[in-house]
């Protein structure tokens, strides 16, 4: 299912190993990754991050349902984070529950302090609300 919002794209994008669900919330785009995400899916993630940042918005990348991510997925997240910081087009935060595969990837690579990482989607969304208050 695909549909176009007035200021971006939203919908569910099936990719080879997983699914990327893009939702427009009140003031934030939510990109939810389900299943396995690696080199085969990274182009879709990069394209969606680029599309939402064209509109100067905040983004939550929710990895709660990702059962596998690799360095290409982490790289896409860092590219999005760099875009948000360099171009001041919004903010990017990541939700990855403690003990999840995605959180272990960030922890074991020593990257947990390099990205705004939250234990759940609620806390990630709340962090963006606080940054605009």
CATH class of 2-131: alpha beta
pLDDT > 70 fraction of the chain, expressed in percent and rounded: 86
First-residue to last-residue Cα distance in the chain: 35
Q: Break the chain into its structural domains and give their ranges.
A: 2-131
Cα–Cα distance, 18 to 37 (Å, whole number): 6
The total number of residues written for the chain in this structure = 133
Q: Binning pLDDT at 50, 70 and 90, where does residue 132 land?
A: low
Query: For residue 10, what pLDDT is reported?
Result: 60
Mean pLDDT of 27-38: 95
- The answer, yes or no, to whether residue 3 has pLDDT greater than 50, is no
Q: Quote the strand ranges of 1-133, DSSP E.
A: 2-5, 8-14, 18-24, 28-37, 58-69, 92-95, 117-118
Note the pTM of the prediction, 2 decimals: 0.86
Residue 113 burial (C-beta neighbours within 10 Å; 0-12, 13-18, 19+): exposed
Q: Binning pLDDT at 50, 70 and 90, where does residue 37 land?
A: very high
């Amino acid at each position: 299912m695909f549909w176009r919002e007035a200021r971006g794209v939203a919908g569910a994008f099936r990719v080879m190993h997983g699914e990327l669900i893009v939702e427009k919330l009140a003031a934030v785009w939510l990109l939810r990754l389900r299943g396995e995400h690696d080199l085969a899916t990274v182009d879709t993630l990069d394209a969606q991050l680029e599309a939402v940042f064209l509109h100067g918005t905040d983004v939550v990348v929710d990895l709660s349902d990702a059962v596998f991510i690799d360095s290409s997925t982490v790289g896409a997240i860092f590219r999005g984070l760099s875009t948000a910081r360099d171009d001041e087009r919004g903010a990017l935060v990541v939700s990855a529950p403690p003990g999840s595969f995605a959180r272990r990837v960030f922890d074991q690579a020593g990257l947990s302090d390099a990205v705004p990482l939250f234990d759940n989607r609620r806390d990630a969304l709340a962090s963006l609300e606080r940054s605009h208050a």
